[in-house]
């Protein structure tokens, strides 16, 4: 349809897998699985429910009659009860026991937690693929000297691979945070209208053990270790706030990577992949714009701002529950996941085809290296009998003069020529050139790459080995 709004997350950005997790099919078939689980557990604990009723519910678990539910909701103005009705139409024998003892949040909130878990696992898989690609890149370029920057001004040297470990390290922090969120998720369980389980006290005639066993059985059906110990009608909305804070963290890390790459592309040291027929600009045919990195930054900004929504929702829940969470929650949580999914899709695509220009990297290093090597030059001159204090002052003066040539005259850095021409240094050009070996100025960068990959990255990726190697082709 071209005459109504469609979310760009669906048409341009998010993957089919993530879109499915927030689809109507995922939501309502999970509701039905929860109703089946509840009825089965109630039957096993002695309530008058038959296997025939369970079988009937199971037979219609996946064929949701949406048309009946939609028509019913127009009349009753309640989404859960409209689906209870629609399910009952398909399952006339089981209709009397559907949703027995439950409140709306039994299906709504438990489904939300299941989706959170599944979506976080998908995020973790994609994060692992990004980290694996950057790992391979870092190892490949661990020895290549490159300018490092503080305040976006040339500082000492690093290596191309060492810089990649900085990106990896933050993404690794994000991966561990995602894993923590998955490990601590709990189902709401069957808590009733205000969290007191009063309806189940009535159904099981006050038998506490059966009421607790009911929740344990439901949790086991959905592969959760536990349910929340206490709640109002809903699970605490801090869960959503914490999960979206984690997604915001991923957006922050990816935006930092993409911003760095955009600057490096301006320096012509590195760039993102550029397709054979890609057009960089409608007006300037020569341009190779970093559009993928720019898109990462744009989507990251959206996710970071979106993460405030559940924080405010959590802060404004009254007593046992209030419904002003619902409309905001269903948009904010879904779009944060869709946004991060889109970001990680682009990250995989970009990191799988990063381009390095070694000659440019080396050229930029050599333009700045004479300034960085002044201390080494001074020490060599002192060894030949020079006065350290006098040489320091001379190097300061020569450096200012050389910088003036570069900045004001547009010339080349002639610091080395100035030092060679100064008899107080007693150094020949070949002696200084021997000092000016970039690899002598990268410190432990290559070893840091090796150690980081061996001690941190590879162990973290072990559990994802069967999920690595994902390729993403961006159509737009």
Looking up residue 240, the CATH number of its domain turns out to be 1.20.200.10
Q: Is residue 285 part of a domain?
A: yes
Q: Is residue 422 part of a domain?
A: yes
Residues 266 and 313 in one domain: yes
User: For residue 124, with 0-12 CB atoms within 10 Å meaning exposed, 13-18 middle and 19 or more buried, which class applies?
Assistant: buried
Residues 264 and 195 in one domain: yes
Is residue 406 pLDDT above 90, yes or no?
no
Residue 118 · residue 19 · CB < 8 Å: no
Residues 192 and 264 in one domain: yes
Structural domain range at position 277: 104-151+159-356
What is the number of structural domains in the chain? 3
DSSP three-state, residue 214:
helix
Tell me the mean pLDDT in the region 174-196.
97
Residues 126 and 242 in one domain: yes
Is residue 467 pLDDT above 50, yes or no?
yes
475: pLDDT confidence band, cut at 50, 70 and 90? low
1: pLDDT confidence band, cut at 50, 70 and 90? low
Is residue 84 pLDDT above 90, yes or no?
yes
Residues 241 and 222 in one domain: yes
How many other β-carbons are positioned within 10 Å of the β-carbon of residue 398? 22
Indicate the range of 133-142, 287-296, 458-467 predicted with least confidence.
Answer: 287-296
pLDDT in tens, 90-105: 999 999 999 999 999 9
Residues 412 and 301 in one domain: no
Q: Which two tokens stand for residue 378?
A: 């001074």
Residues 205 and 314 in one domain: yes
Q: When comparing pLDDT for 248 and 369, which is higher?
A: 248
Q: What's the pLDDT score for residue 279?
A: 45
416: pLDDT confidence band, cut at 50, 70 and 90? confident
Is residue 368 pLDDT above 90, yes or no?
no
Q: When comparing pLDDT for 425 and 25, which is higher?
A: 25
Determine which one of 4, 151, 282, 475 is catalytic. 151
Active-site annotation holds for 23: no
Is residue 331 pLDDT above 90, yes or no?
yes
Residues 170 and 319 in one domain: yes
DSSP letter (8 states) at residue 438:
G
DSSP E strands in 34-174: the ranges are 145-150, 153-159
Tell me the mean pLDDT in the region 335-364.
97
Question: Alpha-carbon dihedral of residues 281, 286, 291, 292, nearest 10 degrees?
Answer: 140
pLDDT in tens, 423-444: 888 888 888 888 889 999 999 9
Any bridge partners for residue 355, and if so which?
271
Tell me the mean pLDDT in the region 208-219.
98
Determine which one of 78, 183, 226, 281 is catalytic. 281
CA-based nearest residue to 339, from 387, 303, 306, 293: 303
Looking at every residue in the chain, the average pLDDT score rounds to 93
Tell me the mean pLDDT in the region 284-307.
87
DSSP letter (8 states) at residue 61:
S
DSSP E strands in 353-426: the ranges are 355-356
DSSP for 291-326, please give it.
Answer: HHHHHHHHHHHHHHHHTHHHHHHHHT--TT--GGGH
Is residue 172 pLDDT above 90, yes or no?
yes
Distance between CA atoms of residues 64 and 33, nearest Å: 12
Any bridge partners for residue 153, and if so which?
150
Calculate the alpha carbon distances from 431 to 105, 106, 367, 391 in Å: 77, 78, 18, 17
Q: When comparing pLDDT for 274 and 443, which is higher?
A: 443
Q: Is residue 474 part of a domain?
A: no
Tell me the mean pLDDT in the region 213-223.
98
Read off φ and ψ for residue 257, nearest 5 degrees: -60, -50
Q: What's the pLDDT score for residue 286?
A: 45
DSSP letter (8 states) at residue 457:
I
Residues 79 and 221 in one domain: no
Instruction: Give the CATH number of the domain where residue 37 resides.
Output: 1.10.275.10
Is residue 7 pLDDT above 70, yes or no?
yes
Residues 382 and 419 in one domain: yes
Residues 308 and 335 in one domain: yes
Q: When comparing pLDDT for 381 and 256, which is higher?
A: 256
Is residue 137 pLDDT above 70, yes or no?
yes
Active-site annotation holds for 455: no
Residues 289 and 329 in one domain: yes
Q: Is residue 449 part of a domain?
A: no
Is residue 282 pLDDT above 50, yes or no?
no
Q: Is residue 471 part of a domain?
A: no
Q: What's the pLDDT score for residue 275?
A: 62
């Amino acid at each position: 349809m071209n005459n109504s709004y469609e979310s760009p997350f669906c048409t341009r950005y998010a993957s089919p897998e993530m879109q499915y997790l927030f689809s109507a099919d995922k939501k309502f078939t999970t509701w039905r699985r929860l109703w089946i689980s509840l009825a089965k557990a109630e039957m096993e604990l002695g309530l008058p429910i038959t296997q025939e009723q369970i079988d009937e519910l199971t037979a219609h678990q996946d064929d949701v009659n949406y048309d009946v539910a939609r028509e019913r909701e127009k009349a009753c103005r309640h989404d859960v009860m409209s689906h209870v009705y629609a399910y009952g139409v398909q399952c006339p024998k089981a209709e009397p026991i559907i949703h027995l003892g439950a409140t709306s949040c039994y299906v709504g909130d438990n489904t939300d937690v299941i989706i959170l878990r599944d979506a976080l696992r998908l995020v973790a898989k994609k994060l692992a693929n990004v980290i694996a690609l950057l790992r391979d890149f870092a190892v490949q370029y661990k020895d290549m000297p490159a300018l490092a920057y503080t305040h976006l001004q040339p500082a000492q040297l690093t290596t191309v691979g060492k810089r990649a470990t900085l990106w990896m390290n933050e993404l690794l922090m994000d991966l561990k945070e995602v894993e923590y969120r998955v490990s601590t998720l709990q189902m709401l369980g069957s808590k009733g209208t205000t969290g007191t389980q009063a309806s189940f006290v009535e159904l099981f005639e006050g038998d506490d053990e059966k009421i607790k066993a009911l929740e344990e059985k439901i949790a086991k059906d959905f592969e959760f270790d536990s349910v929340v110990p206490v709640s109002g009608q809903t699970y605490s909305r801090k869960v959503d706030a914490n999960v979206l804070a984690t997604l915001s963290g991923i957006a922050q890390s990816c935006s930092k990577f993409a911003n760095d790459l955009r600057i490096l592309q301006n320096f012509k040291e590195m760039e993102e992949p550029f397709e054979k027929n890609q057009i960089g600009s409608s007006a300037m045919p020569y341009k190779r714009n970093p559009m993928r990195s720019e898109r990462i930054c744009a989507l990251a900004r959206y996710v970071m701002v979106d993460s405030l929504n559940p924080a405010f929702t959590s802060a404004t829940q009254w007593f046992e529950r209030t419904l002003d969470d619902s409309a905001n929650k269903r948009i904010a949580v879904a779009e944060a996941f869709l946004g991060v999914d889109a970001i990680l899709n682009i990250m995989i695509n970009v990191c799988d085809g990063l381009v390095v220009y070694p000659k440019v990297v080396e050229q930029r290093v050599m333009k700045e290296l004479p300034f960085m090597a002044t201390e080494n030059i001074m020490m060599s001159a002192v060894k030949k009998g020079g006065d350290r204090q006098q040489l320091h002052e001379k190097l300061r003066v020569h450096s200012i003069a050389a910088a003036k040539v570069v900045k004001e005259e547009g010339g080349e850095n002639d610091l080395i020529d100035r030092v060679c021409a100064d008899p107080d240094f007693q150094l020949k050009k070949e002696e200084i050139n021997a000092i000016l070996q970039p690899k002598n100025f990268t410190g432990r960068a290559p070893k840091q790459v090796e150690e980081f990959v061996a001690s941190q990255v590879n162990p973290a990726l072990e559990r994802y080995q069967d999920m690595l190697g994902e390729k993403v082709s961006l159509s737009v």
